[in-house]
Chains A and B, each alone.
Chain A
Amino acid sequence: MTGTGDGSRIRTGIQVLDERLKGGFPRPSTLLLFSDKPTEKRLFAENFAVQGAIAGEITLYVDFFRAPTLARAELSRFGKYPADRLIVVDAVSSQLMVESSEPYRIKDIDDLQEICDVIVQAIQEQKPSRIVIDSMEFLADHFPKDAVLDQWKRIIDEAAKVRSVTCFLFINWTYHERDLSAIRALSDFVVEFQSSMRGGILRNSMRISEMEEGGIRTNWIPYAFKDLVGVTVYFPRIMVTGPFNAGKSTVVRSLCEKSISIDRMGTTVAFDYGSVNITGIEAEIFGTPGQERFEFIFKIFAREVSGVLLVIDASRPEDFERARHMLELIGPRIPYVVLANKSDLPGALAPDTIVRKMDLPDGTPVVPTVATESKGVRDALAILAEMIIGVR
């Protein structure tokens, strides 16, 4: 699975993910979209299917929960796609005892063999490049385990013959850990999903692990869904901080199309706030005041940040100690990028000098910026995004 040429990889349509995956998932491959609690993993699968249809690829969607009309209506929320590119295997009309004119229709929902025969027939005839099985827990919950695992393997084999990337959705209600290991072993990638509700806000995140030894492995990536846009990677709470007068508010302004600042006589007293959307990354940006007397606000914001842009004035090494102190307040586990701002001023220090003077670990990213001209600021955010996503 090392092909990189045209057609050997299947894009997710989520740019930062596709970059991490070196262009997408390889053909053929098997994805296990897994969670052990209710999550929004269907969003990822639906987005993946619709992205394929939009790109003109044949996409097969096997739906055990929604009649085809409903499935197509809900999939169109992810964007307009050519109708003939998306083929639905109808496993629901027979459950509802309604008529169906779908070419691929499961007549007896209590017959595992027939269910899988219809799926395999659709794979052989349509040769889809993407397949979504929504979802395997329907089968796991209705049929004996060994028979389900046999049919699972059969679908994987048939999909591999047409070089398809197959997504199996699976929430585990019934299987034991040992069976789960067997299912993971059948997969090339496991995409795990988490949804958590804290303070009344629902947060979704996912993590991709390639099962192969030394394969790709990401951190938990937060994501969000918007009608007609689909799934985007979303970073809540990126904190912009740094010593007094380093240019934090200017950084927030240059990143965000719209931002607000609560300031007094040109210096920020509460916080700056804005949101940014670049190259498939959406982020929520908070700027904190740099003055020490507002440290209590800083401590409140620092609690739940996903990453930090530390803005320093590259021409004022006397403030570096203060910047270092701020990093200590944030704690050791939060990824951060240092923005060496005002790098156009005479006497501005070079990144490696800053690393040495601030006594930062080797490899700490220091990006020279000129926030007033928007230079380097977006690069710094992109680097931070990569650090948050992480990759092995």
Chain B
Amino acid sequence: MGDPRFPTNYAILLAGPPGVGKFEYTVAQAREALRAGERVVFVTLDLHPNEIRARAKALHLDLEAYEGKSFAFVDCYSATASERPEPASGKKTFLVSSFSNLEGIGMAMSKAAQELGTPVRIYFYTISTLFLHNSTQAIAKFFQIVTSRAKMNMGFILYAVQEGVHETMTMNLLRSLVDGVVEMRFTDTMDREVRVHHMRGYQVDSSWHPFVQMPVLPGGAL
């Protein structure tokens, strides 16, 4: 496959230890989608939208050029401050009041997708943060509902998850509920590698490839 984008009506889990480059990988995916004229929603739980804008810019993606047109944030991060942040003009951000408001997160994603128009690609960064604020059982149901909604009605979703902080059972559950898993790791020499572990309905080369700094996509994995 020459096209670096994932299929639509599809859900991907991106797993790797902290610092391995999940954010870079996610931004690379979003960038290719936006350049191809697709719509993108970025759900942030770990970073302030301004920080994402700045870090994406360093990775050759100017989000502000797309905001309000084909890109929107679902911001679950900012409201941890008690004041409502004023959205910058022309930028549409969907604010969720709390990490524990799973229902609010789900609805904000639907509204963002509706506002931008479907199909849309959703990047969820990261699902791990939810585990600090909610029971595993609640997250599992949320994950299942949101994944099926995203696949059926919105288009595509990728969740980033931190490797090594969740129990094996939890990771297996998350892996079982998506269509494909992309893994990232450090080698002995602290180089970074990426592979597509599996993708439902596709033959994939599941060998490890070096994860090169942008703008080259991971090993041409897809």
A69 to B101, CA, bound (A): 17
Q: Which among B81, B102, B149 is the interface contact of A173 at CB below 8 angstroms? A: B102
Counting chain B CB atoms within 10 Å of each CB, which of A42, A67, A195 scores highest?
A67
- Whether, in the assembled complex, A198 has its beta carbon less than 8 Å from a beta carbon of chain B, the answer is yes
Binds B, one of A49-57, A135-143, A266-274: A135-143
A215 to B133, CA, bound (A): 39
CB pair B110–A195 under 8 Å, yes or no, is: yes
Q: Which residue of A lies closest to B108 (CB)?
A: A38
CB pair A197–B113 under 8 Å, yes or no, is: yes
Task: Report the interface size for chain B: residues with CB under 8 A from the other chain.
Answer: 33
Given A37-B145, A201-B114: A174 in contact with B137 (beta carbons within 8 A): yes
Residues 59-73 of A, flagged 1 when their CB comes within 8 A of B and 0 if not, give: 000001111111001
Chain B residues in 8 Å Cβ range of A202: 110-111, 114
Given A38-B145, A142-B135, A198-B153: A92 in contact with B82 (beta carbons within 8 A): yes
A68 to B84, CA, bound (A): 11
CB pair A70–B135 under 8 Å, yes or no, is: no
- Whether, in the assembled complex, B83 has its beta carbon less than 8 Å from a beta carbon of chain A, the answer is yes
**A283: shortest Cβ distance to chain B, in Å?**
21
Chain B residues in 8 Å Cβ range of A67: 82-83
Task: Report the interface size for chain A: residues with CB under 8 A from the other chain.
Answer: 34
Residues 125-158 of B, flagged 1 when their CB comes within 8 A of A and 0 if not, give: 0000000001101100110011001000110000
- Whether, in the assembled complex, B8 has its beta carbon less than 8 Å from a beta carbon of chain A, the answer is no
CB pair A195–B107 under 8 Å, yes or no, is: yes
- Whether, in the assembled complex, A311 has its beta carbon less than 8 Å from a beta carbon of chain B, the answer is no
CB pair A70–B111 under 8 Å, yes or no, is: no
CB pair A65–B98 under 8 Å, yes or no, is: yes
Q: Which among B82, B105, B118, B145 is the interface contact of A70 at CB below 8 angstroms? A: B82
A174 to B142, CA, bound (A): 10
**A368: shortest Cβ distance to chain B, in Å?**
41
- Whether, in the assembled complex, B68 has its beta carbon less than 8 Å from a beta carbon of chain A, the answer is no
- Whether, in the assembled complex, A171 has its beta carbon less than 8 Å from a beta carbon of chain B, the answer is yes
CB pair B79–A70 under 8 Å, yes or no, is: yes
**B101: shortest Cβ distance to chain A, in Å?**
4
Chain A residues in 8 Å Cβ range of B83: 67, 69-70
- Whether, in the assembled complex, B29 has its beta carbon less than 8 Å from a beta carbon of chain A, the answer is no
**A4: shortest Cβ distance to chain B, in Å?**
35
Chain B residues in 8 Å Cβ range of A39: 103, 107
- Whether, in the assembled complex, A205 has its beta carbon less than 8 Å from a beta carbon of chain B, the answer is no
A66 to B101, CA, bound (A): 9
A98 to B81, CA, bound (A): 9
A328 to B137, CA, bound (A): 48
CB pair B98–A92 under 8 Å, yes or no, is: yes
- Whether, in the assembled complex, B70 has its beta carbon less than 8 Å from a beta carbon of chain A, the answer is no
- Whether, in the assembled complex, A96 has its beta carbon less than 8 Å from a beta carbon of chain B, the answer is yes
Chain B residues in 8 Å Cβ range of A137: 102-103, 138
Q: Which among A141, A142, A197 is the interface contact of B149 at CB below 8 angstroms? A: A197
- Whether, in the assembled complex, B17 has its beta carbon less than 8 Å from a beta carbon of chain A, the answer is no
Given A38-B107, A200-B117: A174 in contact with B84 (beta carbons within 8 A): no
CB pair A38–B153 under 8 Å, yes or no, is: no
Q: Which residue of B lies closest to A134 (CB)?
A: B101
- Whether, in the assembled complex, B26 has its beta carbon less than 8 Å from a beta carbon of chain A, the answer is no
CB<8 Å pairs between A and B, sample of 9:
A38-B105, A42-B103, A42-B104, A66-B79, A69-B84, A95-B98, A96-B81, A200-B114, A200-B118
The 3 closest A-B pairs by CB, nearest first: A38-B106, A67-B82, A173-B138
Q: A39-B107, A70-B83, A70-B97 are in contact. List 9 more A-B contacts (CB 8 A).
A: A38-B146, A67-B83, A69-B83, A70-B79, A96-B80, A141-B137, A142-B135, A173-B135, A173-B138
